[in-house]
Structure 1
């Protein structure tokens, strides 16, 4: 029994000593691949400044620069440079915060010493750190952090940020949060509380890198936002999602902007919602675009040349993108005010036409004559009356509750009803708008758009 135990112990120790020698070259290949991917992005350059390779780990210092002319062509010679340290320990024994066993544990750190003239934080911590624990099956766990910091004048206060996530063959999940950030410089202090981000991608890494569609959700939220003494918001959410129909191979994107409560001076509102979607998008087009753009970036050093060939690709493949008749829709535009609520929706698509050129798509008149649009609006009668009175009061420079203001507002609303532009139904004003063949129509009233 003792001999068997001794053999097992010897085998485990040998594995722990030998395994790093096989893990090291594979990991270094991944580092080189990462550098290559950065260099393929327009404006970015990355170089390994130094490498320290040992039996149980490695350290690579990487200098990443960005040409600011990519953002503003008028900026000449401006570059942003960041030095990143990639510190790795090889498995199988790691004793990392994300787990004890694994292929490797890598810390990617931006120390940020060049920022200390502008920002103060704990001297023992890097400005940003990303830790990755690679598993034996190709999965990995990650955690990142930004420490709490202030500026020398103490007018910027940031409580810090932490996040964690994991990638598996089923998908990627990530959650991060920050308690508070405050800007107290000047006459309008700003305070944001309860920032959070949640990401769920239901696809493996290979599918994600293809650039096509897959089921995903991303939620960015803020519990409270206060701007000065006159504006306050709570329950702010930006929700983004994508999906792919496996049968039609058409994808969709949805973005929702939500605010639970809003106050700006005397203006108050709640349950504000603006939800948009793009549907019937060709998955093949976006995957082909990703493959083509990756190749173009790898073969060209000039950003202008890259944009030119990408523009040509768009022109040559615009038919594939438009074949399924993509739609842009506003599925929900709504809100509640002290005087009532409103709701609206819109659907839009291109009419049956020959495939347009990219130049035509940038002409506003093209959309006026070739878009098919349908919109519906509904609002409580007191709300419409209040908005009309507010508008008339500003035009007349009179108090909102003045009799002449109320009378004029009522006359305008009644004239819209008489013209058939709006209808009153169960204490709600409603309107239906359609646009087709360059003509607009509100109920039975038609009018040219140009």
Structure 2
């Protein structure tokens, strides 16, 4: 036993003494790599203002600058000074960590944005950073972290509105090649003399069952993200028709990459459980989109190309874009990409409707001599879609569309909502009957349905051939 201890104790001491230096060297190298990668995007720059790396700890201050003018497409627009913020980073090297990040593990670190320049307009607790994130890398190589945005209110002289934010808290981990993150905020409120606006129960949930290497180096990787706003309210006590009440507004997004053919898919859904706007009421309103068979080769090429466009004049950027597309478009369309509306639906007091539209490009192995030749693209396009709904809800939607058109008609300018509603309600039955006679709409026992398809350059609506404007 004594012999074992004689070997293990010096080894443990040696590990505790030498390992922190190795961790510090690796950390410094990682910081250099991150700064270099960040500066490849010309819209912002990251500069190391100071770095103090000792045996057991590292302190670094970064200056992050954002070139706001890089996001403007307006030619000749006045230049805006870059927005800059200091970011403080501190870390303790393991395996035996002391001080602020005391514990056992390879690395403990904190990143803070003091945000002092924001205090001109915002108020939050003294000595508290505006944003901070704490991280820990355990002895097995797993990463755990939590971040927060401090609660704040606005402080603007002679302000007519007051903004109050409850703060944001999040936590995440990276382990076994899977990144996960959850975050939430209780409320965001804006109050004024005219109306009040409130958002409650903001939540964010994200998982990425992909390696960090794939996340940072690939254009596509596996991921699932959901953002939900539990309650959104706009209240005007004087003008009741302006009141808005939305429950469970959500955005869902997912991506996946097929490692065999290097084609990626993406699904995005926007929706809400319930909407009340004045007298309007709707439930299960949703728009679900899908893009499939997207070439990772094309996306990576475009990402690299897009960075080079930021500093070019508009005319030159347009010419460069056309040149890029002529050289790379085939890699995109050869994979037979699809753009689909998998569901556009809603439920109202009058009934419900649902629709979908699937489009794809197929059988393209070479591009035409004239890239914009419509006959070529039509011959390789497939379309299949359907709209169906209860009669009452289709009539309701048709009335709303006609009212919008009447409002822009000079002959009906100045008419009240009631008058426009009456005119639209009188004309809609005639219009729907005309669409039925033309075969564009089919009446069922309790609703309407319409199907559209395009194949071999032939357009059909409800199996009836329709001429194309070519």
Residue deviations 1:70-96 (CA, integer Å, cap 9, x gap): 012523251111111111111112379
Residue range with higher mean Cα deviation, 254-263 or 430-439: 430-439
Q: 1:125 to 1:311 in 2, by over 3 A?
A: farther
**Secondary structure at 2:312 match in 1:** helix
Give the C-alpha shift of residue 411 in structure 1: 2.5
- Following superposition of structure 1 onto structure 2, how do residues 231-250 of structure 1 map, counting pairs within 5 Å? 231-250=244-263
Do residues 414 (structure 1) and 433 (structure 2) align? Answer: yes
Matched, 1:277 2:290: yes
Q: Report whether the alignment pairs 1:350 with 2:354.
A: no
Residue 40 of structure 1 aligns to a residue whose secondary structure is coil
CA distance 1:18–1:445, shift in 2 (3 Å):
closer
**Could you tell me the TM-score, scaled by structure 1's length?**
0.86
**Number of corresponding residues:** 444
- Could you tell me which residue of structure 1 aligns to residue 89 of structure 2? 86
Secondary structure of 2:78's aligned partner: coil
Per-residue CA deviations over 1:201-231 (Å, capped at 9, x if unaligned) read 1111112222143321111111011123411
Report the CA distance between 1:26 and its aligned residue: 1.2
Shift of 1:50: 1.4
- The 1:316–1:96 alpha-carbon spacing in structure 2 relative to 1, beyond 3 Å, is farther
Unaligned runs of 5+ in 2: 237-242, 407-411
For residues 13 and 124 of structure 1, the distance between their equivalents in structure 2, rounded to whole angstroms, comes to 38
User: What is the aligned counterpart of 2:185 among 174, 178, 181?
Assistant: 178
Mapping 1:41-440, distance limit 5 Å: 41-72=41-72, 74-76=77-79, 78-94=81-97, 100-153=103-156, 155-185=162-192, 187-229=194-236, 230-287=243-300, 303-304=311-312, 312-350=323-361, 352=363, 355-356=366-367, 360=371, 371-390=381-400, 395=406, 399=418, 408-435=427-454, 440=459
Q: Quick one: structure 1 residues 37 and 75, their matched pair in 2 at CA, closer, same or farther if it must change by over 3 Å?
A: farther
Cα contact 1:440–1:449 (8 A) shared by 2: no
Q: Distance in 2 between matches of 1:405 and 1:287?
A: 50
- Tell me by how many angstroms 1:115 deviates: 1.0
Q: Which residue of 1 aligns with 2:409?
A: none
Q: Structure 1 residues 183, 440: CA separation in 2 closer, same or farther (over 3 Å shift)? A: farther
Asked if 2 retains the 8 angstrom alpha-carbon contact of 1:252 and 1:279, the reply is yes
Partners in 2 of 1:402 and 1:51 — Cα distance? 69
Change (3 A) 1:331 1:99: farther
TM-score, L = length of structure 2: 0.83
RMSD: 3.5
Change over 3 Å in CA distance of 1:185–1:359 after alignment to 2: farther
- Indicate conservation of the 8 Å contact 1:368/1:449, yes or no: no
- Runs of 5+ in structure 1 lacking a partner? none
Distance in 1 between residues matched to 2:193 and 2:469, nearest whole Å: 46
